[in-house]
Amino acid sequence: LGGVEESNLNTSKRGIFIHGTSREGSLGKSYSHGCIRMGNSDIISLYDLVDVGTYLNILEKI
């Protein structure tokens, strides 16, 4: 998956992060280093539904 390559280690212990964005108009476009960006209202809803520490399976394609 994009963002987890060794050459893309722009943060400590690189992984795929899920977060909101201040640029919601850029959603659906390749804009980050492999993160899953969501609309801010969507990320708030997800936070309310999922417990901290929950493991997720992130698939490149469905």
DSSP for 33-49, please give it.
Answer: SS-EE--HHHHHHHHHH
State the Cα–Cα distance between residues 41 and 15, nearest whole angstrom: 23
Residue 10 maps to a domain: yes
pLDDT per residue as tens digits for the range 11-57: 555 667 888 887 777 777 776 666 788 889 999 998 899 998 888 88
Give me the pLDDT at residue 8, please: 57
The better pLDDT of the pair 62, 51 is held by 51
For residue 36, the model assigns a pLDDT of 82
Q: Is residue 15 part of a domain?
A: yes
Does residue 13 belong to any structural domain of this protein? yes
Confidence of residue 10 (pLDDT cuts 50, 70, 90): low
Q: How many domains does the structure of the chain reveal? A: 1
Residues of the domain holding 30: 6-49
* Residue 60 placed within a domain: no
